[in-house]
A = this chain, B = another copy of it.
């Protein structure tokens, strides 16, 4: 008998009909001889509706109470799901994050899981019950207050439960069939990947692939939990995230996929005095505003003026704060101006194989050049190349790279033959 952890998101649980369909799938898994633990998100628009209520009573709701409010969403979906399972003749019990032993830090709204002590979940499984757990939530180790994990929290709950219970697999049910070599809305012949390593998936997620959140993949890698990303609308196998690229066979595919991201903006600080420590002061200002930056590039200093330009990207939602923070220190630091540009896109090529294959960067740049895409910033890691370009050219860039690296048509491009992960 295997232990399977499944995760269903808000769209899979949008209404009573969908909840019943999910219940059927869970009961099938149980009838196939598995122990089943299920982590759920709130139904469809529940979280937005609750946030709307909060805004009606308070302009800036306190974090503690916002977490208390939002966690009622999973309480509703989990108990309804347990009822739906029960009406199919199977035993089901639902547990809040706190009851399930999901212990977190006390940072409301974006708590991190410290530990999972699943004794009640284990008891429920031992009693033969399908066990439903509220995703996205936990209880603070220090204050015993209810916390939420922030975006993608239910994926993380599922992986954390799988790790704590020693589950055989953690199935993340979503509205797509798995992880693709590119967004199928942009690249019609994008290929579903059967397998992907944690490292590659981390790069994909960090570069804009929305199917799994970064922290969930990190948790899976740290605890070696096999994550199966699949559709809640069909029974096709999806994508299995597992294994390290260290273990990949040499003859594996070079490139995994193309990710893109429209959520970033570009800020350029011009006429920066080119002395040691000036760039550091600029980034200190950004850090003190609690903003995270992504890519950074510094132009070659102009000898005549002794000044340079500093460009970086960060989430569009943080850009206004960053610009304001920089303007406040313009005179003190002595730079010329802050330019803000939100019409940028980022495209990234990811593949563990590129480590051992020279020439990937050349093919990458040639493909973009042929598509008429101008590279504004470029940044690389061992298994990734990312560039920033005009947002109007982003789709062209994604298609050009997908084509250049033959990701759609070639089976070898995406399957790690024989690894069996």
Contact = CB atoms under 8 A, between A and B. Distances in A.
Interface of A: 16, 19-20, 23, 50, 53-54, 56-62, 64-66, 68-69, 71-73, 75-76, 78-84, 86-87, 92-94, 99, 120, 144
B53 A76 contact: yes
Contact of A62 (B20, B61, B83): B83
A53 B94 contact: no
Chief secondary structure at chain A's binding surface:
helix
B71 A58 contact: no
A16 B51 CA distance: 12
Nearest to A17: B56
A144 to B, nearest CB: 7
B87 A78 contact: no
Contacts of A19: 57
Contact of A58 (B68, B83, B99): B83
Nearest to A74: B72
B83 A65 contact: yes
A50 B68 contact: no
Given A84-B57, A144-B120, A50 B76 contact: yes
Given A87-B57, A87-B58, A75 B79 contact: no
Residue among A50, A60, A82 facing the most chain B CB atoms (10 A cut-off):
A82
25 contacts: A16-B53, A16-B57, A20-B57, A53-B76, A53-B80, A54-B79, A57-B87, A58-B84, A58-B87, A59-B87, A61-B86, A62-B86, A64-B93, A65-B79, A65-B86, A65-B92, A66-B83, A68-B78, A68-B79, A69-B76, A69-B79, A72-B72, A72-B73, A72-B75, A75-B75
A363 to B, nearest CB: 53
Contacts of A93: 64-65
Given A19-B57, A54-B83, A69-B75, 19 more contacts: A16-B53, A16-B57, A23-B57, A53-B76, A58-B84, A58-B86, A58-B87, A59-B87, A61-B87, A65-B79, A65-B93, A65-B94, A68-B79, A68-B82, A69-B76, A69-B79, A69-B83, A72-B76, A120-B144
A71 B98 CA distance: 15
A144 B95 CA distance: 11
A60 B75 contact: no
A106 to B, nearest CB: 14
A162 to B, nearest CB: 23
